[in-house]
Amino acid sequence: MDSLKIRIKRRLEVYLELDIDGIRKFIIDILLRLKRLTVDQLFNELNKKFKISFSAVASTLGYIHSKLGILHAYKESYKTPIVYSLKEEYVDIVENALSKSASKPS
């Protein structure tokens, strides 16, 4: 595994270790399942289980995109929302980190 993937794996593991209420794991799981989503779609999914504001969802998704580096962001035009997708080269890393964090006692 190259050094960039190792750094991203470690960042993701730390990000998930700091998950207090389960929202981070839930978001990563949704990203794995849906592969592509907008802030609106993620907000609707999260609101089924958690009480969270739209701006908190947007900032969390932005953080995952900018700091963890596992997402690709695409905007077709200035009128359309940004579509975030999980980068294929990180799917296995994300799955491993998610299963590793799920096996740890809370």
Span 20-72, pLDDT tens digits: 899 999 999 999 999 899 999 999 999 999 999 999 999 999 999 999 999 99
The CATH architecture that domain 3-103 belongs to is: Orthogonal Bundle (1.10)
Evaluate if residue 104 carries a pLDDT over 80.
no
Evaluate if residue 1 carries a pLDDT over 70.
no
Specify the pLDDT at position 105.
55
Greater model confidence, 106 or 23: 23
pTM of the model: 0.85
Largest CA distance in the chain: 44
SS3 call for 96: helix
| Number of Cα atoms under 13 Å in the Cβ half of residue 93 | 21
Partner residues linked to 78 by β-bridges: none
